[in-house]
Amino acid sequence: MNRQLRLFCFLILAFATSLPGFAQEPTWQRLINSDKEPQNWLSYGGNYAAHRFSSLNQITPANVKNLAPAWMFPTGEVRGGLNATPIVMDGVMYLMGPMNRVFAINAATGEVIWKYLYKVTTRNIPYQVGARGLAIGYGKVYFGTVDNHFIALDMKTGRELWDVEIENTELCGCNVTSPPLIVKDKVIVGGTGGEHAHRGYLSAFDASSGKLLWRFYTIPAAGEPGSETWDPRMLKYGGAPTWLTGSYDAELNLVYWGVGNPSSDFYDEFRPGDNLYSNSIIALDPDTGKLKWHYQEVPHDMYDFDSAYECVLIDYQKDGQKGGKTQKLLVHPNKGGYTWVLDRATGKYVNAYPHVDVLTWLKGVDKNGRPIDMQPVPPDKETFVCPSAGGGRNWDHSSYSPRTKFWYNVGWEMCNVIKPEKLEIVEGKPLFGGGIDFKPPKDKAAYGHINAFDPLTGERKWRYLTDGLNVASLLTTGGDLLFSGDVYGNAFALDAKTGKKLWSFKVGGSVTGSPISYSVNGRQFVAVPVGMGSLVGGLSAMMWPDKMMPEGSSTLVVFALPETKGASRAK
């Protein structure tokens, strides 16, 4: 090999090894193309479009009745339950329990490979001690903590690689309760803080070192576009958190993130105006953190109707129009019981429709999707509003099946009385601006449901009435099944085409986490996190006090079909 060629090869090798994750799994290419690996579940939403769909089809409507526990894993800490989405790669599961306990587990047997028990730095934890999971990439496990740190572990050993404090949780009243999103060489982390005097943001860290690379504030600074939608006094304290996990479109190179409510929630003396970018969807350039577009769903929110939920990316074609124009949609359920549909390239409004039955806070939307005749919440009166601040649903994730072309979403029919109260503004301290009393709708009892929708038009294909309020996320599979669970301790499966209930199993605790499906050695598994951990999980007990709630737990229950000779392999 001549000298020039050796030098060229050396430079290529040096460049390649400088990239995060060189020779370390999962690589960025595996993460962004995870649909090609149905045996794994590589990210929080199942893929970067937030579909929560597995193409595995060994378990079907015909045999799901035979589904039985294969193994169980208790996390060893009941406080906080089990809200997490398990992550699976190549036969190893990575699971986060409450208090940021992390486990690597043999995904076929439940045997522990390693564990990491995070040492929380304060007793003053805001919001909750449970967590919704973690992310993996480049040989590392990444997660944020309940005391607002950003941690990386070695995937093979569980050894801590770094511990970076994002911001002092006792000073900001904020923390991290959801998994980060890995995008190329960055790990993007959101946070809570919508009920505190705090200014929300997204942070992007270097995936190799943990160094902060950029930060996008969800409330503009004085003089920036959007700052005119606030009283200047609230620019540092107006909430707008990023407490769930975003999505990413590789073709457009855009990260999409939902932004939560402004604070104070119910008392608005110090925040006249639309309060950007609260209750908005933001699209950012992940390389720079620069805003590319935004769309606000609930201007000047007075109801605690976050837009923080998942941004579902769907390439939509009407029935019978194969080969026709594909619409690149972003489908976004809002806490206020409405779903907005946008063009995800431009942020332009396409459609909006309700996903609950009982709505008092608006009369509809105009041609641009802006709410019409929003219900006032006077500071000196109590106001009955539907749905409640608990939401027309809460953080429990929807699912989209590319097989049925249905988008599946949860709905809650419950209301509240808002009681505004003026509070002193102290940085990092609670700033609800009042209280709420949960109530059923005025003319009927509270109820919940799971629905299948056409994601563009909102046409409802079927409805399943849930037992209480369904707090668990939804999972659909290539076997045309929908899996979830209820707060009374039942995991269940529905026919994804019809909504008919086909299977249920008593799991011993409330199901408030996010089921997934994966396979090992050709055997398909369905993993169901069990254990009440949601802040809104107790609403069912409030609405139905005569129904017995399960005791506290924090256990992963993993199901599979019985092993038989000649059984078909998952694919």
Looking at the predicted structure, is the pLDDT value of residue 22 above 90? no
Query: Of the residues 147, 274, 304, 396, which is catalytic?
Result: 304
The mean pLDDT value for 343-367 works out to: 98
Give the 3-state secondary structure of residue 283: strand
Q: So what's the pLDDT on residue 542?
A: 87
- Taking every pair of Cα atoms in the chain, the longest distance, rounded to a whole number of angstroms, is 85
- What percentage of the chain exceeds 70 in pLDDT? 94
pLDDT for residue 338: 98
> What's the confidence (pLDDT) of residue 568?
63
79 and 118 Cβ atoms separated by less than 8 Å? no
Query: Are the C-beta atoms of residues 335 and 354 closer than 8 Å to each other?
Result: no
Does 380 participate in catalysis according to the annotation?
no
Residues 6+ apart with CB under 8 A from 33: none
Q: What is the arithmetic mean of pLDDT over 159-167?
A: 97
Read off the pLDDT of residues 54-110 as tens digits, 9 standing for 90 and up.
999 999 999 999 999 999 999 999 989 999 999 999 999 999 999 999 999 999 999
Mean pLDDT to the nearest integer, 269-281: 95
pLDDT of residue 123: 80
pLDDT at 8: 42
Residue 11: pLDDT band with limits 50, 70, 90:
very low
Per CATH, is 45-560 categorized as 2.140.10.10? yes
Of 257-261, 293-297, 432-436, minimum mean pLDDT range: 432-436
- Mean predicted confidence (pLDDT) in 187-194: 96
Looking at the predicted structure, is the pLDDT value of residue 14 above 70? Answer: no
Query: What is the pLDDT averaged over residues 8-36?
Result: 65
> Which whole number is the average pLDDT over 313-342?
89
Domain ranges of the chain: 45-560
What integer is the mean pLDDT of 311-340? 89
Predicted pLDDT at 566: 57
Confidence of residue 129 (pLDDT cuts 50, 70, 90): confident
Q: Is the pLDDT of residue 20 over 50?
A: no
pTM summary value = 0.94
Question: What are the Cα distances from residue 125, in Å, to 121, 216, 537?
Answer: 9, 24, 19
Higher pLDDT, 238 or 538: 238
Phi-psi region of 468 (alpha: psi -120 to 50; beta: other; left: phi over 0): left
Model confidence pLDDT, tens digit, residues 284-306: 999 999 999 999 999 999 999 99
Asked if the model's pLDDT at residue 469 lies above 90, the reply is yes
User: Is 184 a residue whose pLDDT tops 90?
Assistant: yes
| Nearest CA among 464, 475, 452, 372 for reference residue 405 | 452
What is d(CA 8, CA 86) in angstroms, rounded to the nearest whole number?
A: 42
Task: State how far the alpha carbon of 195 is from the alpha carbons of 172, 198, 237, 403, 433, in Å.
Answer: 11, 8, 10, 40, 9
